[in-house]
């Protein structure tokens, strides 16, 4: 069924029809298309554009279609898009009355509504997956509060840090992703329906009533902008792509840490694979796939940005191309977040190897330099003295662990107290004082604040989803929410 052919004298060319169809991309939006159609129907009845019996027939038809689509009873392939599928099937069920449902709206504002309903759900789902991942980092930090390991810059040994501090670094990273999704929601969660094709409608519709029925807190302004705006998709994809980038960094570190060069982590066998030819292999494939899929998410954002960059107002058919990258990025990032949280739950640090690595790379050199600063020596002079000590030891294949006090005195000079304890990596983290440092008390504070953040964020998402579910169930009682 075509919704637009009134003035045409010829049927659409078969190849053009195949080229222009979007049903296999937008078919997954059918719950949102039906939800929006139900709200539009109830509003049309309220303003007198539908009789009560007509509205009742339409609502019954929409509920029937929802059930049929849930059960896979409708073949979508003959239809141009999800809108023609719904309207075509509704016409088969209730006849000409189905045609009244389209009063006061266009496919141009209808598809934006579907996308906004879809994306606000996707934001909440991604937010929940981020919360699960954050909980994983918190759990690991609480499970190993005193485990000390090397910290790195440039992939070179730098200073001792708590393993829990490292976990909370990733917590901070993904917390920002949760906050960004929270920030974008108000710009997504606004009602576009009623803009019609681009100029609005002369029919006495009530856009505020549709917003209320669909639990939108606001109604979008300017009908021309509404039908051509895809900023909201691009912004969500931007935040999801950044989350994917963070997932890639996490995955890269896991891949590094399970390699023989580090050996800091062990992954449960259920999250690894072997080799078809090498029987000894245990490969971190889940982490590698998470790392690889991040490229898909970044490219999805770029694909849509290039599509939008030269479009004049208002609607253009180019905008049909927005759904494939939107759906792909949402799917890939949500799946990757879910698997990342499970992966974090299924890795454990190898304490002995981390402890042994603390003896390499002169990790506490900065502690010694800062102690000299406390004794009144200018930092640059202290830096030079400790650097000379490290150079001397390295040239003789020695480390801090086997150094004698006499060797320290020969470089640093006479000391009022024994400074060798300053070189202990475990004591190093305990001496840290600055806010946000790897000091145990600071990491404990981060964990406590992290727990509060997760609790509040979970509560907020729950309240939003309950509001949306109430809206949906009022129109589709007994049906599962999208």
Tens-digit pLDDT string for the chain (482 aa): 555 455 556 777 787 777 778 888 899 999 999 999 999 999 999 999 999 999 999 999 999 999 999 999 999 999 999 999 999 999 999 999 999 999 999 999 999 999 999 999 999 999 999 999 999 999 999 999 999 999 999 999 999 999 999 999 999 999 999 999 999 999 999 999 999 999 999 999 999 999 999 999 999 999 999 999 999 999 999 999 999 999 999 999 999 999 999 999 999 999 999 988 998 899 999 999 999 999 999 999 999 999 999 999 999 999 999 999 999 999 999 999 999 999 999 999 999 999 999 999 999 999 999 999 998 999 999 999 999 999 989 999 999 988 888 878 877 777 766 788 889 999 999 999 999 999 999 999 999 999 999 999 999 999 999 999 999 999 999 888 88
Our CA angle for 280, 163, 350, nearest 5°, is 25
Measured distance CA(25)–CA(81) in Å, rounded: 8
* Tokens linked to 200: 């609005």
338 is catalytic: no
pLDDT on residue 17? 73
332 contacts 244 by C-beta, under 8 angstroms = yes
164 contacts 437 by C-beta, under 8 angstroms = no
CA distances from 257 to 220, 266, 275 (A): 49, 8, 20
Diameter over CA atoms, the chain = 101
CATH of 365-423, one of 3.30.750.210, 1.10.40.30, 3.40.50.300, 1.20.1090.10: 1.10.40.30
Active-site residue (options: 154, 202, 395, 434): 154
450 contacts 171 by C-beta, under 8 angstroms = yes
Instruction: Let me know if domain 111-202+217-356+443-475 sits in CATH 1.20.200.10.
Output: yes
Measured distance CA(307)–CA(320) in Å, rounded: 10
Measured distance CA(137)–CA(1) in Å, rounded: 52
Domain definitions of the chain by residue range: 14-103, 111-202+217-356+443-475, 365-423
pLDDT on residue 2? 58
150 contacts 160 by C-beta, under 8 angstroms = yes
Active-site residue (options: 259, 275, 384, 405): 275
Helix (H) or strand (E) holding 41, with range, is: helix 30-46
pLDDT on residue 420? 85
Query: 22, 173, 8, 10: which is closest to 83 by C-alpha?
Result: 22
Paired with 347 in beta bridges are 267
40 is catalytic: no
H helices of 201-318, in order, are: 207-213, 223-228, 231-258, 285-308
Measured distance CA(16)–CA(5) in Å, rounded: 14
C-alpha 441: how far from chain center: 30
Query: 309, 322, 101: which is closest to 193 by C-alpha?
Result: 101
pLDDT on residue 275? 85
CATH number of 14-103: 1.10.275.10
Task: Render 449-477 in DSSP notation, one character per residue.
Answer: HHHHHHHHHHHHHHHHHHHHHHHHHHHST
Cis peptide before 314 (omega within 30 of 0): yes
pLDDT on residue 413? 76
425: three-class secondary structure by DSSP: helix
- Equal CATH topology for 14-103 and 365-423: no
Paired with 156 in beta bridges are 153
């Amino acid at each position: 069924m075509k919704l637009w052919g009134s003035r045409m004298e010829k049927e659409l060319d078969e190849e053009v029809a195949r080229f222009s169809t979007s049903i296999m991309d937008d078919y997954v939006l059918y719950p949102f298309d039906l939800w929006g159609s139900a709200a539009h129907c109830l509003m049309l009845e309220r303003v007198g554009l539908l009789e009560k019996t007509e509205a009742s027939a339409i609502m019954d038809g929409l509920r029937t279609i929802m059930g049929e689509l849930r059960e896979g009873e409708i073949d979508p392939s003959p239809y141009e898009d999800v809108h023609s599928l719904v309207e075509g099937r509704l016409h088969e069920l209730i006849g000409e009355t189905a045609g009244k449902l389209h009063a006061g709206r266009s496919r141009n504002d209808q598809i934006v509504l579907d996308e906004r309903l879809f994306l606000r759900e996707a934001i909440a789902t991604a937010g929940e997956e981020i919360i699960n991942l954050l909980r994983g980092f918190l759990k690991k930090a609480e499970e190993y509060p005193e485990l000390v390991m090397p910290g790195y810059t440039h992939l070179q040994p730098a200073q001792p840090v708590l393993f829990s501090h490292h976990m909370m670094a990733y917590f901070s990273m993904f917390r920002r992703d949760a906050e960004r999704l929270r920030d974008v929601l108000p710009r997504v969660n606004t009602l576009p329906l009623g803009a019609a094709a681009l100029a609005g409608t002369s029919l006495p519709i009530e856009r505020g009533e549709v917003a209320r029925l669909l639990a939108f807190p606001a109604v979008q302004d300017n009908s021309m902008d509404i039908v051509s705006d895809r900023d909201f998709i691009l912004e969500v994809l931007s935040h999801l792509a950044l989350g994917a980038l963070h997932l890639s960094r996490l995955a890269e570190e896991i891949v590094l840490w399970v390699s023989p060069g580090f050996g800091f982590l062990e992954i449960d066998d259920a999250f690894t694979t072997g080799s078809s030819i090498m029987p000894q292999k245990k490969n971190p494939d889940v982490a590698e796939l998470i790392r690889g899929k991040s490229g898909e998410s970044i490219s999805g954002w770029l694909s849509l940005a290039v599509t939008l960059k030269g479009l004049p107002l208002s609607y253009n058919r180019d905008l049909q191309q927005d759904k494939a990258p939107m759906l792909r990025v949402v799917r890939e990032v949500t799946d990757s977040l879910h698997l990342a949280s499970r992966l974090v739950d299924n890795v454990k640090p190898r304490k002995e190897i981390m402890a042994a690595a603390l003896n390499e790379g002169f990790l506490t050199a900065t502690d010694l330099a800062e102690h000299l600063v406390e004794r009144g020596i200018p930092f640059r002079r202290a830096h030079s003295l400790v650097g000379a000590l490290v150079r001397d030891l390295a040239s003789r294949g020695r480390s801090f662990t086997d150094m004698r006090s006499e060797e320290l005195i020969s470089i640093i000079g006479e000391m009022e107290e024994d400074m060798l304890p300053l070189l202990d990596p475990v004591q190093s983290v305990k001496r840290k004082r600055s806010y946000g440092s790897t000091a145990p008390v600071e990491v404990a504070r981060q964990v406590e604040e992290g727990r509060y953040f997760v609790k509040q964020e979970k509560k907020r998402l729950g309240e939003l989803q309950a509001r949306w579910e109430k809206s949906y169930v009022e129109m589709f009682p007994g049906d599962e929410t999208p």
